[in-house]
Each structure stands twice: as C-alpha cells, then as structure tokens.
Structure 1
Amino acid sequence: MLYVFHLIDRPGSAALRLQTRPEHKACLAQLQERIAFAGPLLQDDGQTMIGSLLVIDFPGRAAAEAWLAQEPFHRSGLYASVQIHAFSNLWPQRIGFAP
C-alpha cells in the first residue's frame, strides 16, 4: 500500500536540513524501487525548503512508521509536524515528473 508522508520542518532548521540531507538521500536510495515520488516542499519562491512530501510503498502502516523512525531527517528532529496517510493513486501523472 502507498503511504504519503507529509512532513513540515521546524522553524529555523534550514541548516539542519542541509547538514542531514546527504544521509536522508542515501536512506531514500535504499528503497528507491518502492518510491512513487519524493521531494522537498517549498515556499512560493520555489527554492526555500520547508518540509518533505514522500509517497512510498510499504506492506502496512507499522512498516511505514518503522521506516520513518529510522529516517535521518526524522531522527535529527528536523520535523515539527508529521502526518502519514494511506493513499490510493487513481490519476495518471502527466506533469511534474522527470521523463
């Protein structure tokens, strides 16, 4: 089942995000075959990162939560807000995805 991770950074944590980002990306690379999409949430300037949006296939909520517990951004305390939701993708993507 797909799970959406809607994760909002703590205010003033830009340096922590940049410092932890290589470890975060390595963690995501370990399950790249199960990622529907993943990327930073941005302010309207299109550059300032304020959180993360991930959609990843897991066998169930317990597995999704276990993965998040060990994820580097989460472990570092970057996120002020964490929401996890089961998701059913019913619409074919046409824009916003690399070819």
Structure 2
Amino acid sequence: MIFTMLLMDRPGTADLRVQVRPEHRAYLAKMADRMAFAGPLTSEDGKTTLGSLIAIDFPSRADVDAWLKDEPYTKAGVYEKPIINVFNNMWTQKAGFPPSP
C-alpha cells in the first residue's frame, strides 16, 4: 500500500536541512524500488525549501512509522509533525516528467 508523507520543515532549520541532506538522500535511496515519488516542496520561487513530499509502498502504517522514526531529517529535528495518508494512484504517470536534478 502506498503511503504519502507530507513533512513540513520546522522554522529555522534550512541550514540543518543542507547539512543532513547527504544522509537523508542515502536513506531514501535504500527505498528506491518501493518509491512512487519523493522530493522537496518549495516556495513559488523554486529555491526556498519548505518540506518534503514522499510516497513509498509499505506493508502497514506501523512500518511507515518505524521507517520515519529513523529518517535522518526526522532524527535531526528538521521536520514538524508528519501528515501520513494512504495514496490510491488512479492516474498513470506521465512520460516526460523526469526527476529534477
């Protein structure tokens, strides 16, 4: 079952986010085969990071919670309280929308 995680950053954690990013990306990479999508949420200028939106296939909510507990941004205190929901993909992903660099 795909779970989405809306993870907004705590105010004042921009520098911490940059510092922890390599560990965060390595942690996400371990889930690449189960990931529907993942990436930062930004302000309209596309430069100021506000949080993350992640969708990963997990067997249960308990598995999501366990994974998120060990997620580097969570452990470092970057994220505020997560909003987690089940996601039912009802639309085929469009070709031509590759990941951003």
Unaligned runs of 5+ in 2: none
Determine the C-alpha separation between the residues in 2 that align with 1:96 and 1:82. Answer: 30
Is the 1:10–1:78 Cα contact (8 Å) retained in structure 2?
A: yes
1:69 alignment partner AA? K
Name the residue aligned to 1:47.
Answer: 47
Structure with more of its chain in strand, by fraction:
1
Count residues with an aligned counterpart.
Answer: 99
Name the residue aligned to 2:84.
Answer: 84
1:68 is aligned to 2:68: yes
Unaligned runs of 5+ in 1: none
Q: What TM-score does the superposition give when structure 2 sets the normalisation length? A: 0.92
Q: CA RMSD in A?
A: 1.4
The secondary structure found in structure 2 opposite 1:90 is coil
Determine the C-alpha separation between the residues in 1 that align with 2:60 and 2:87. Answer: 11
Determine the C-alpha separation between the residues in 1 that align with 2:47 and 2:97. Answer: 17
Name the residue aligned to 2:94.
Answer: 94
Is the 1:9–1:81 Cα contact (8 Å) retained in structure 2?
A: no
- Aligned CA distance change for structure 1 residues 51 and 95 (closer, same or farther; 3 Å): farther
Identical aligned pairs, as a percentage?
Answer: 52
Name the residue aligned to 2:28.
Answer: 28
